[in-house]
Structure 1
Amino acid sequence: MTPAARYAASVDVLDGFLSGEPAEKLLSNWARRNRYAGSKDRAAVRDIVFDCLRKLNSYAQASGLPDGRGIAVGHCLSAGLDPDQIFSGVAYAPVALDDAEQALIAAAQASGGQQVVDLPDWLQSVFETDLGATATKVAQDLCHRAPVDLRVNVAKTTPSGAARALAAEGIMCDPVADVASALRVVENPRRVAGSKPYQSGQVELQDAASQALVGMLDLQAGQSVLDYCAGGGGKTLAMAARVPDARYSAWDISAARLAPLEERAARAGAKVTLLAEKPSKATYDLVLVDAPCSGSGAWRRNPEGKWRLTQDKLAEVQAMQAQVLAEAAQLVKAGGTLVYATCSVLERENTSQVKTFLRKTTDYEVVSTHNLGLNCPGDGFYCAILKKQF
């Protein structure tokens, strides 16, 4: 595919997204309809679309056009490409820009534009309330691509050994400062899933902030550990790799989300019990609650999330967080540890939830709290470690 043809495909996906369709579904459907497109073409179209989703407002302002064509024009301008060369109408290129579009683009470029925050208006207000003076910077940081991080399974290899094995397949990595288990892929990230180190369970895809969270936990051999709201079990496996001799259980309200953990655990050589029924007894030394959240700390990876989130959905998520935190607290033994975590940068999902919880209970006290900002060391993350007194 030519660069122009890639933009034409991206315009179709963007228009579908603006009409309410999920971006991943649109990209999958496009790939099925266009089987001639090679892996590099699919990756290029995906990159254009996701870059546009990160900067919808900025790219629309740059072109003066709020539709898929206009957002793609904004992407062209940002990439230093001449929109007339891309939107030429030749072969598989997008239809040529008409006089009205050309006039709007020229006017937008002449105006120089004002600072645009790539968030819905209502969400920008939430950021300003929760993040104060850092709101704009955090929103801007979320517009950049996230790094690809790997967790080295230290039960099978060492970080240096994994790095050498990956390098033998052309996948170059750097260590991540202060996160001993983490490698950051700097060349050929798309080869990871097919590599021998990944297939053999030596490495897993996992953001460095999630790994840093596991490093904060006081895990001990022989403990009974529950990953509540485990999802696919990434943190379960990280804990099991760090302290293999603890007893790990995982539960999630969605059996479908939890199901892949069985195969992943086998590949990693980890022993994990997948619970078919919701736990109900205080039998655990440590319970990790990776709570449902806005996902705002990970919007670099899932930029669609910031445009699909609504005020009602955010309120529902906050209510769910309070519920799962209260439920998980009932599962911890006296003297045990409760860990509340989110991949959110919003105070209302983090500190406020913990403060509300502590006002309603007398048997927990805070041991420590941790706000991991974007790039420190990975996604935005929050963690509160609580001790059950009796």
Structure 2
Amino acid sequence: MTITASQIQSASQALRAVLRFDYPADAVLSRYFRDLRELGARDRAFVAEAVYGVLRRKRMLERLCGPEVSPRQLVLAWLARVEGLTLRQLGEGLHGRDTDFFTAIKGRELPEGSLAETTDLPEWLAERLLATRTPEQVQALAQSLNRPAPLDLRVNPLKLDRDALIEKLRADGIACAAAPLSPLAVRLEGKPALQKHPLFLDGSFEVQDEGSQLLGFLVQPKRGEMVVDFCAGAGGKTLLLGALMRNSGRLYAFDVSDKRLAKLKPRVARSGLSNVHPVVIASENDPRVKRLAGKIDRVLVDAPCSGLGTLRRNPDLKWRQSPESVAELTAKQAAILASAARLVKAGGRLVYATCSLLPEENEAIVAAFLAAHPGFVQVSAGEILGKQGITVGDAEQLHLSPAEHDTDGFFAAVLERSAG
């Protein structure tokens, strides 16, 4: 791999914008690429890889380089120490002081650091993770979070089965295999471009992390039921719920963002579903929510959260979140769960889920809810999945980890309203 001077310059400019942490890294990069349309596909790939690589290993790189390090130096240090490139591979990409800096960083000994520094985590997050894990477990978790995520697909069972999808993708030269947990998941080798693939365009598959897919199997919707995806977003889980309902019944996709729900509409059209009803709500207390009180068979609350279980994809979140932002989120999570619970009919099911690793967003929210709502009981997530042939152990709550399961970090609890 030979890196050019212009690639290093572009990556440095993009990283400078991302490190302001005003907006999510993916949004900043999208804007950067829109403004620089002359960048080719290889250049864009390098810029994205460099930016995300630095974000993952930021603390280690800063320890190597010192406190006054520039974005350009962070990119060079990442190339030298994480990617292991040599001066020869950088070809004409380095000159003068860059060459001296690269050579010095290449041979510099890494100073000893705290657990947070050696795991590339902010101090507050390392402390929170240590509250429920050993230092060795935090190390293993952080190492898994600092690796790029694999690319998972979810087959649309209304269009074809998983084996047929794998066969068709392999015939097109796309290396893939059945993923181990979700019966609908296919894991790809590498990151091929799929947006224009005929099977994507006809709705035969969607891109969806395998862990995210398991939430649909916890909801376990049946034909003809009334189901609500309470925080639907762009609708990845909505599409799965609709398919599991075999395109029958009525499936409401609630969200406070009309922009997010607008992204759901073309996906629904591709999928062939006709039972999905997107609804923009003002808040969890919207009158449209109240009108459905006690009428819904199953409700999924994939709550707004810190997203710290998705650091493989969104490494900027560990630098953008804070104890204060998490505290704000926990108040919102408790309010949303309480509101969503009002929808559930007697004997119905409520699934609370996040892509967070923090107990205050997960177990603590569920415990407080159950204490305040004696009409609900918790049922075993492991048993529900096990009866569907999904093996993740028999724990009452679902905990998925990139270290153990090679999925994003997910938490889920299954709550059922008593029939009486």
What TM-score does the superposition give when structure 1 sets the normalisation length? Answer: 0.91
What's the CA shift for 1:57?
Answer: 1.0
Partner SS for 1:285:
strand
For the pair 1:265 / 2:293, whether they are aligned, the reply is no
Change (3 A) 1:26 1:254: closer
Q: Determine the C-alpha separation between the residues in 2 that align with 1:235 and 1:219.
A: 12
Partner SS for 2:326:
helix
* Aligned counterpart, 2:400: 372
What's the CA shift for 1:181?
Answer: 0.1
Partner SS for 1:197:
helix
- Retained in 2: the 8 A contact 1:54–1:303? yes
What's the CA shift for 1:129?
Answer: 1.9
* Aligned counterpart, 1:200: 202
- Retained in 2: the 8 A contact 1:207–1:378? yes
What's the CA shift for 1:378?
Answer: 1.1
* Aligned counterpart, 1:13: 14
- Retained in 2: the 8 A contact 1:339–1:384? yes
Change (3 A) 1:61 1:248: same
Change (3 A) 1:292 1:41: same
Change (3 A) 1:99 1:51: closer
How many equivalent residue pairs?
384
What's the CA shift for 1:173?
Answer: 1.2
Q: Determine the C-alpha separation between the residues in 2 that align with 1:249 and 1:68.
A: 45
- Retained in 2: the 8 A contact 1:59–1:70? no
* Aligned counterpart, 2:173: 170
**Amino acid in structure 1 at the alignment position of 2:86:** D
**Amino acid in structure 1 at the alignment position of 2:11:** S
- Retained in 2: the 8 A contact 1:227–1:289? yes
- Retained in 2: the 8 A contact 1:182–1:208? yes
What's the CA shift for 1:196?
Answer: 0.6
Change (3 A) 1:262 1:373: same
What's the CA shift for 1:258?
Answer: 1.4
Q: Determine the C-alpha separation between the residues in 2 that align with 1:83 and 1:383.
A: 48
Structure 2 unmatched ranges of 5 or more: 381-396
What's the CA shift for 1:84?
Answer: 8.1
What's the CA shift for 1:10?
Answer: 1.1
Which residue of the other structure, out of 66, 77, 80, is the alignment partner of 2:84? 80
What's the CA shift for 1:268?
Answer: 0.3
Q: Determine the C-alpha separation between the residues in 2 that align with 1:263 and 1:110.
A: 52
- Retained in 1: the 8 A contact 2:14–2:47? no
- Retained in 2: the 8 A contact 1:295–1:343? yes
Partner SS for 2:133:
helix
For the pair 1:256 / 2:284, whether they are aligned, the reply is no
For the pair 1:234 / 2:222, whether they are aligned, the reply is no
* Aligned counterpart, 1:297: 309
What's the CA shift for 1:158?
Answer: 0.8
What's the CA shift for 1:179?
Answer: 1.4
Percent sequence identity over matched residues?
35
Q: Determine the C-alpha separation between the residues in 2 that align with 1:132 and 1:356.
A: 26
Any idea what the Cα deviations from partners look like across 1:299-330, whole Å, max 9, x if unmatched? 11011111111221111111111010000011
- Retained in 2: the 8 A contact 1:62–1:109? yes
Q: Determine the C-alpha separation between the residues in 1 that align with 2:224 and 2:58.
A: 50
Which residue of the other structure, out of 171, 177, 182, is the alignment partner of 1:179? 182
- Retained in 1: the 8 A contact 2:299–2:344? yes
How do residues 1-390 of structure 1 correspond to structure 2 at under 5 angstroms?
A: 3-4=3-4, 5-22=6-23, 23-64=25-66, 66-77=69-80, 78-82=82-86, 86=90, 90=92, 93=93, 96-97=96-97, 101=101, 105=105, 109-111=108-110, 113-114=112-113, 116-133=118-135, 134-187=137-190, 189-244=191-246, 245-270=248-273, 271-277=275-281, 278=286, 279-280=289-290, 281-368=293-380, 369-374=397-402, 376-389=405-418, 390=420
Partner SS for 1:274:
strand
What's the CA shift for 1:64?
Answer: 4.0
Change (3 A) 1:83 1:347: farther
Partner SS for 2:379:
strand
What's the CA shift for 1:101?
Answer: 4.3
Q: Determine the C-alpha separation between the residues in 2 that align with 1:58 and 1:7.
A: 20
What's the CA shift for 1:62?
Answer: 3.5
Quick check: 226-235 or 72-81, which moved more?
72-81
- Retained in 2: the 8 A contact 1:250–1:273? yes
Change (3 A) 1:131 1:328: farther
Change (3 A) 1:34 1:218: closer
Change (3 A) 1:377 1:33: closer
What's the CA shift for 1:121?
Answer: 1.5
Change (3 A) 1:54 1:45: same
Change (3 A) 1:345 1:186: same
Change (3 A) 1:21 1:324: closer
Q: Determine the C-alpha separation between the residues in 2 that align with 1:316 and 1:9.
A: 36
Any idea what the Cα deviations from partners look like across 1:128-181, whole Å, max 9, x if unmatched? 124344223212211000011000001110111112222233322111113110
Change (3 A) 1:304 1:168: same
Q: Determine the C-alpha separation between the residues in 2 that align with 1:154 and 1:102.
A: 51
Q: Determine the C-alpha separation between the residues in 2 that align with 1:276 and 1:72.
A: 42
Any idea what the Cα deviations from partners look like across 1:27-77, whole Å, max 9, x if unmatched? 234424433321122112111111111111122234446331232122112
What's the CA shift for 1:223?
Answer: 1.2
Change (3 A) 1:2 1:81: closer
What's the CA shift for 1:221?
Answer: 1.4
**Amino acid in structure 1 at the alignment position of 2:108:** Q
- Retained in 1: the 8 A contact 2:222–2:244? no
What's the CA shift for 1:95?
Answer: 5.5
- Retained in 2: the 8 A contact 1:171–1:191? no
